[in-house]
Amino acid sequence: MKNFREICEKFPNLDNIIFISESKFDSSRKTFLYNNLIIKARKKSEDTTQQLRQNTLKQEYELLNDCNGIDAVPQAFYYFDDNNYELLFTNFLPGVRLSNLKVSIVNLFKILIKLSGILYHLSARKISHNDIVPENILITNDFQVSLIDFDQATKSKFTAAFLRQFTGINIGESKVNYSLITVVKDYIKKKFPKTIFQINKLMRKKFPEIKPLPELKKDDDPKLLDLLKAWKLAQKSNASSPGVPIAYYALEYNGVYFPGERSWIKRWNELKNVSDYSGKTVLELGCNMGLLSTFLLKDAGVQKCIGIDYDKKILETAEIISEVFEVSPEFRQVNFDSTTTWEEELLSFKADIVFALNVLNWVKDKERFLWFLSKFNEVIFEGHDLPENEKNRFKQIGFTSIEEIGYSERERIILRCRK
The reported pLDDT for the residue numbered 280 is 97
Q: What is the pLDDT at residue 118?
A: 96
The answer to whether 191 and 109 are in contact (CB under 8 A) is no
* Angle, CA of 350, 248 and 298, to the nearest 5°: 45
Task: Judge whether residue 413 has pLDDT over 80.
Answer: yes
141-179 tens-digit pLDDT: 888 999 999 999 999 899 999 999 999 988 876 778 889
Average pLDDT over residues 44-73: 88
SS3 112: helix
Domain made up of 4-91: CATH architecture? 2-Layer Sandwich (3.30)
* 276-418 is a CATH 3.40.50.150 domain: yes
Mean pLDDT, rounded, for 77-82: 93
Query: Would you say residue 66 has pLDDT above 60?
Result: yes
pLDDT band of residue 202 (cuts 50, 70, 90) is low
Contact call for residues 300 and 380 (beta carbons, < 8 A):
no
Cis upstream peptide for 12 (omega within 30°)? yes
* Dmax (CA) of the chain: 89
- Residue 241: the pLDDT is 62
Q: Which H helix or E strand runs over 402?
A: strand 401-407
User: pLDDT at residue 205 above 80?
Assistant: no
187 sits in the region (left: phi over 0; alpha: psi -120 to 50; else beta) called alpha
Does residue 252 surpass a pLDDT of 80?
yes
Count of C-beta atoms within a 10 Å radius of residue 163: 19
Domain with CATH 3.40.50.150 in the chain: 276-418
Pick the CATH number of 96-191 from 1.10.510.10, 3.40.50.850, 3.30.70.520, 1.10.10.10: 1.10.510.10
Q: DSSP state, 199? A: H
| Position 351 confidence tier, pLDDT thresholds 50, 70, 90 | very high
> Which residue intervals of the chain bear CATH 3.30.200.20?
4-91
Buried b (16+ CB within 10 A) or exposed e, 240-252: bbeeeebbbbbbe
List every span in the chain annotated with CATH 1.10.510.10: 96-191
Whole-number pLDDT of residue 362: 87
Beta strand spans in 217-311 (E): 249-253, 256-258, 262-263, 281-285, 304-309
| Overall average pLDDT of the 250-263 stretch | 92
Q: Quickly state the pLDDT bin for 238 (edges 50, 70, 90).
A: confident
